[in-house]
Chain A
């Protein structure tokens, strides 16, 4: 009963914390709420009219939603790059960042699920997927693997930080015996979610652009670059706007992770480009379309030619210690790396998979306003959730929130 009472008090205190703050904080939350409302309106239009309000067609049947979903799975998986050193390798420097990383993973996962639901033609019959009352095509469908992987990872990433924060809230130390097994599991699970998500595409013999063995590893590399890059940016913001102390050392170590992952990602990109363009076959057409356009159609060229230079520039900046250790350069590099990988995973991966179509038809895809509205709404929701989680976590970690025995 004591636990429930403490938990109730924690919820109350956390509501108290998230509803009070500086003017800037309120403005930020109001902005997010506004964007979420716009997104909800756009989604209601989509529910009413059907997915025809999006830019997707029978020719390009996945678009912005699935692109963002794919990218965000990577962001979520990236929390492992902080969890592993902190909990398993006992690197103290990561300790401050790890709760933030896990909060980010939770927000990213909720966004993933929201994007999948937004992409569904029949969200009202999603219960068909629930084991027990529905039919769950496991293990045949990779989508069912992904459902398990994402929800499991969400559960792990909610429970571990919750346990730790719950203990700290009562002024006690978290028992490592309790959370270490979970942390171990989450390390494997994180690799799992992104591999499984890659297999979702990789397993389709119908789409030669996706059906290559490098897709999974490349997903991991890009995820471990983009995710920690986002964490660095978030930590930078938290550092300047809250009393939560994050050492330079921590950020520098995460930057090293980003650097190595970005370098590996770039090597794999070169390998992929070599395969597609040295001896181009019929199966290289999607890549040709993506990079150079086919038959005068080249809607994706601006995207990919933005992503590649940003990617290279960021990797080069990060590679030189002198540049990386300069925080202004580091933050800039992280930002452009994040953008570059977002483009690569979306417009550079999902959309060209459908172009040209199974019989060579080139039908291009441009997202509509409604689609963009829903997407921004979901991003705003993610940011909103993360802000709430981070604010509570920081409150507890700096000792502002403490359980008071009455």
Chain B
């Protein structure tokens, strides 16, 4: 986090101290105070920190998502209690950041929350700033849940352009891809959000989406039907990106269309602009049981989302950028899904594009999807 290349205003709470502790890389994941910082203090202070953290976040420790601290269901009494507690903590944060003695963790939490609230757009961040916000999110998660996650801010690699092909002949509608996607990407379980939709089509009707069913509950493959999956097509000319008023969504160098969940204002204009039903909105606070959280995360991918923001398929950026296939590709039992680098002439996806009769959906719209369909 260097001060000089920030493009936006941020409050500098006890900056020099933080910088120093950051340079002590010890691998414990804390961004301030270094390893074991709390344990060296005397017991009273430890108790105070514990009490303060309990009062401010209490049962939310078990949950996830940055915003949970701020929006939890509560009655008026506990609201007042928490309000008072957080006021005291706020006052404490001010006094502790001025004094050098008081609670390290409280101070750190206040600092993280502040910096996260007023950070800039990820798209415009330098690599150090990206690392900074990732470190803060990891630390914040650790402080709230006591669990460690790993979060990457890996950028697009050079000479990589991701593409996807879907074999209509092979898909049998098992929906393993859908389940794998939900688990991999920490999608909200309450609303049963799914990025992938599998459309069950009637034989002999062609690609008639109007008569297809994308919400079936019966044994597959059903007699006289074939299946076709849709998700975000990662258009090369994405209409959703154009319309976003704050550039919270954009196309990365490797072709992935991503969302900065912390920058999104939730206007849902991108959703209206998408011709492929590729985007999902968090209508309530997304929740994933702590045991089911996928802790291998990417800032632009499957990290915890909050209420009121957009999200979508990222071709599992946390996987694809580290050389793995997206979860849906890996989970597919029929081999209907093919993923790879379009710029690599040796890749399977290139072989498919060159040797199969491929087509894309709604090509007339000029969106240039990087998602092709083909048949055996």
Contacts and interface: CB of A to CB of B under 8 A. Distances in A.
B19 to A, nearest CB: 23
B212 A360 contact: yes
B263 A51 contact: no
Contact of B272 (A62, A120, A126, A129): A62
Given A52-B191, A119-B267, A358 B73 contact: no
B45 to A, nearest CB: 33
Nearest to A46: B308
Interface stretch (A19-27, A29-37, A141-149, A231-239): A141-149
Nearest to A137: B247
Nearest to A49: B284
A281 interface: no
A128 B122 CA distance: 12
Interface stretch (B24-32, B140-148, B251-259, B273-281): B273-281
A155 interface: no
A129 B265 contact: yes
Interface in A97-152: 116, 119-123, 125-126, 128-129, 133-137, 140-144, 147
Contacts of A166: none
B121 interface: yes
A143 B239 contact: no
B271 interface: yes
Interface residues on B, range: 35 or more
A94 to B, nearest CB: 36
A142 B272 CA distance: 13
B239 A122 contact: no
B243 interface: yes
A128 B263 contact: yes
Contacts of B271: 58, 61
Contacts of B83: none
Interface residues on A, range: 35 or more
B245 A58 contact: no
Contact of A52 (B9, B211, B244, B283): B283
Interface stretch (A171-179, A201-209, A254-262): A201-209
A58 B266 CA distance: 13
Given A120-B308, A122-B308, A133-B8, A141 B283 contact: no
B242 interface: yes
Nearest to B269: A143
A359 B244 contact: no
B227 to A, nearest CB: 13
Contact of B284 (A52, A128, A359): A52
A56 interface: yes
Contacts of B307: 50, 121
Nearest to B261: A122
A125 B309 CA distance: 11
A57 interface: yes
A204 B273 contact: yes
Contacts of A135: 120-121, 123-124, 246-247, 263
By Cβ-Cβ distance, the 5 closest A-B pairs, closest first, are A121-B266, A121-B308, A206-B275, A360-B210, A52-B283
Interface of A: 47-52, 54, 56-58, 61-62, 116, 119-123, 125-126, 128-129, 133-137, 140-144, 147, 200-201, 203-207, 285, 353-354, 356-361
28 contacts: A47-B71, A48-B73, A50-B283, A50-B307, A51-B281, A61-B272, A119-B267, A119-B268, A121-B265, A121-B281, A123-B265, A125-B263, A125-B264, A128-B265, A133-B8, A136-B245, A137-B246, A140-B242, A141-B243, A143-B269, A147-B245, A204-B243, A205-B365, A206-B239, A206-B272, A207-B272, A358-B276, A359-B277
Interface of B: 8-9, 71, 73, 120-121, 123-124, 191, 193, 197, 199, 209-212, 214, 230, 239, 242-248, 262-269, 271-277, 279-285, 306-310, 365-367
